[in-house]
Amino acid sequence: MKRRILITGTSSGIGYGLAKHFCSLGAEVLGLSRGDCDLSQSFSNYHHYHIDLCNNKALPENINVIFQSHKAFDLVILNAGVLGDIASFEQQSVERAKHVMDINVWANKALIDLFLVNKIVVKQWIAISSGAAKNGSAGWGAYSVSKAALNMLIQTYAVENPQMHFCALAPGLVDTQMQDYISALPNKEGFPAIDRLKEAKGTEAMPDPISAAPMLINAMQKALEFDSGVFLDVRDLA
């Protein structure tokens, strides 16, 4: 039977790379993002939905369009997210930090809740996390806090829903638009993580999303060997 997979944030980056590779493997892929995605032009098994996950009022109705014809998924990948500002934490406003939390944490909670309330069967949940959730690097305050909260969100749902498998997965270094933004920063404050990322960009240490997709998908399969709710880093699973 053809696998059915839902991925958020498929207009670019990791979400796009994963969606393309899953489509090439023959899976039925449903992609959610605010922006467009050209995969439907190349793959008849890709279906795109323009959905703003942070629009709490419209989200239930928009997702219900999917649920009307899809009652079960083999895999749901919570990939959509934002970096926020790179600056000393005291220079990051509470409002901007809340915005990062809304997208990286609460939008995922809202989506998971809708699946549970509507009794949609999901075998495996993968939330794209980050090593920043544990490292606490200077300049990454809001992003690090949001990813740490995402890890606990996943752990909590895993405990409360033992019939499903949950995992927060750090994808390692992947050359996305986020890395384009970081590489263009002047780094006046001398944050070490920025210098490391700039050095990695354009090398084998930072593959593009299309090249990274098989490695990420392999890690997702390996995640099933661990207890539900675990946080894993793909670099530890290679």
- Residues of 143-171 as b/e, b for ≥16 C-beta within 10 angstroms? bbbbbbbbbebbbebbeebeebbbbbbbb
pLDDT in tens, 183-205: 888 877 788 888 899 999 999 99
pTM for this prediction: 0.96
pLDDT at 1 over 70: no
Q: What is the pLDDT of residue 161?
A: 98
> What are the residue boundaries of the structural domains of the chain, listed by start?
4-177+209-233
Q: How confident is the model at residue 70 (pLDDT cuts 50, 70, 90)?
A: very high
Q: What is the pLDDT of residue 108?
A: 98
Q: Which of 31, 28, 26 is nearest to 12 (CA)?
A: 31
pLDDT in tens, 135-144: 878 899 999 9
pLDDT in tens, 86-144: 999 999 999 999 999 999 999 999 999 999 999 999 999 999 999 999 987 889 999 99
Please list the alpha-helical segments (H only) found in 76-229.
Answer: 94-101, 107-117, 132-135, 141-160, 177-183, 192-200, 209-223
User: To 10 degrees, the CA torsion angle through 81, 151, 201, 83?
Assistant: 30
pLDDT in tens, 6-39: 999 999 999 999 999 999 999 999 999 999 999 9
207 versus 2: the higher-pLDDT residue is: 207
Q: What radius of gyration do the chain's Cα atoms show? A: 17
Span 4-177+209-233 CATH architecture: 3-Layer(aba) Sandwich (3.40)
Do 153 and 109 touch, CB atoms closer than 8 A? yes
